[in-house]
Structure 1
Amino acid sequence: MTSTNDRSYVYTTYIRSTAEQVFRALTTPEFTMQYWGGAELTSDWQVGSPLEAVHPDREDFIGKILAVEPPHRLSYTFTGRAEEAAGRPPTVVDFTISPFGDEAVKLQVLHTGFTADEQGEQDIRDVGEGWPAILAALKTLLETDRPLAGPGHYAPRTPARA
Structure 2
Amino acid sequence: MAKSQFVYVTYIRTTPEKLWQALSRPEFTRQFWCETWQDCEWKKGATWKIVVPGGRVADSGEVVEIEPGKKLVLLWQNHLDPEMTAEGFSRLTYELETIGDSVKLTVQHEMDKPDSKLIQGVSTGWPHILSSLKSLLETGHALKETSQWPEGL
TM-score range, shorter chain: 0.7 to 0.9
Say whether the 8 Å CA contact 1:71–1:97 is kept in structure 2. Answer: yes
How many residue pairs get aligned? The number is 146
Cα displacement (A) at 1:59: 4.3
- What is aligned with 1:137? 132
Kindly report which structure 2 residues correspond to 1:8-157, keeping only aligned pairs within 5 A, or say none: 8-57=5-54, 59-81=57-79, 88-101=87-100, 103-117=101-115, 120=116, 122-150=117-145, 154-156=146-148
Secondary structure at the counterpart of residue 56 of structure 1: coil
Q: Which residues of structure 2 form unaligned runs of 5+? A: none
Say whether the 8 Å CA contact 1:147–1:156 is kept in structure 2. Answer: no
Say whether the 8 Å CA contact 1:114–1:124 is kept in structure 2. Answer: no
Secondary structure at the counterpart of residue 22 of structure 1: helix
TM-score scaled by structure 2? 0.85
CA pair 137-88 structure 1, distance change in 2 beyond 3 A: same
Letter in 2 for 1:130: G
> CA separation in 2, counterparts of 1:92 and 1:128?
14
Letter in 1 for 2:34: G
Give the fraction of aligned pairs with identical amino acids, expressed as a percent: 32
Q: Which residues of structure 1 form unaligned runs of 5+? A: 158-162
Cα displacement (A) at 1:93: 0.4
- What is aligned with 1:160? none
Letter in 2 for 1:68: I
TM-score scaled by structure 1? 0.81
> CA separation in 2, counterparts of 1:75 and 1:7?
17
Say whether the 8 Å CA contact 2:77–2:89 is kept in structure 1. Answer: yes
Deviation digits for residues 16-70 of structure 1, max 9, x if unmatched?
Answer: 0001111111110111111111111110101111111111245421111111101
